[in-house]
Amino acid sequence: MTTIDNATGPSTELEVHEPGGMTDVADLAAARPLRKEVWKRFKRNKLAMVGLGILVLLVITAIFAPAIAPYGPTERSAGEFRQAPSMQHYFGTDTIGLDVFSRVVYGTRISLKIGVTATVISLVIGLLLGAAAGFFGGATDTLIMRTTDIGLAIPYIVLAVALASIMGKGVNTVIVVIGLTGWLGIARIVRSSFLSLKQLEYVEASHALGYSRWRIMFRHILPNALQPIIVYGAIAVGGVILAEAALSFLGVGPVYPTPSWGLMVSEGKSVISVAPWMLIFPGLAIFVTVLAFVFIGDGLRDALDPKLK
């Protein structure tokens, strides 16, 4: 301990700690960024890494589909109707001679396009409405939440089928329908996050400094509310793919011969007794893809949870 005498007053004792007696400043400066900590915790989850590996494989398949698929998605093999899986047709052929393996490969593009695009639309709508409801409160909150309650009271499939029947069939229609009906849950999640965060001191300080409401909402509150949004978005992609399969199964999804997994399952159900491969392989593709996004969502939830840091 070192004593420093002050000429104008009583002596002041200044404690000087030995290195290692307290946290070294250099260690604090070398702290990992948040994204590296999240990635480190994410890698510990083996199922999450499996899901990420499957997702990477799906993206590669979608990008290089023409090089992977031995046939085109609408290329027929003359006289080879409902052929069982073989070295020539890995997943067999359908009722008009189309190669099932090639259609499953090309269907990766359709499913990922629908899943990601529709989820982004839902997240944007739900984020804006949920943030407005939670931040402004009052009449704005009441109007948005009562609209959400009405939407949640209507069975999702009924609402989606009604909109798809009005707008017509096709991939873009499915994206719009699912995107416009899938924001209800995320709006509630965002609203609850904003209701709790806007009461914190740093938000009150932002108000005192004269920042605009929009700046406080999207620069100060939103970054702290991203954890449940990211997790929900990852899991929602798998849900959207299932929703597309359900709409295709009901006959209001993409039209034939679009290589959609849901449409292929719908076609295979009628010939499952004589050509089960027409249903099994696209059904497995849906199952594996949805499972991958669920694993990724669970991994992100654990990695972003500060309690597990």
* CA-based nearest residue to 257, from 69, 73, 62, 72: 73
Q: Are 71 and 93 in contact (CB under 8 A)?
A: no
Specify the pLDDT at position 309: 53
Q: Are 162 and 151 in contact (CB under 8 A)?
A: no
Interval 165-215: pLDDT, tens: 788 778 888 888 888 888 888 899 889 888 888 877 877 787 787 777 788
Specify the pLDDT at position 11: 43
The list of the chain residues with pLDDT below 70 reads: 1-34, 79, 305-309
Cα gap 146→193, rounded to integer Å: 18
H helix intervals, the chain: 25-29, 34-44, 46-63, 65-68, 100-136, 138-153, 156-167, 171-181, 184-197, 201-208, 213-215, 226-249, 261-268, 277-304
Burial class (CB within 10 angstroms; exposed 0-12, middle 13-18, buried 19+) of 7: exposed
Specify the pLDDT at position 289: 92
Q: Are 201 and 207 in contact (CB under 8 A)?
A: no
Domains of the chain: 35-308 (1.10.3720.10)
Cα gap 262→259, rounded to integer Å: 9
Residue appearing with tokens 């999804």: 253
- Record the pTM: 0.80
Specify the pLDDT at position 104: 93
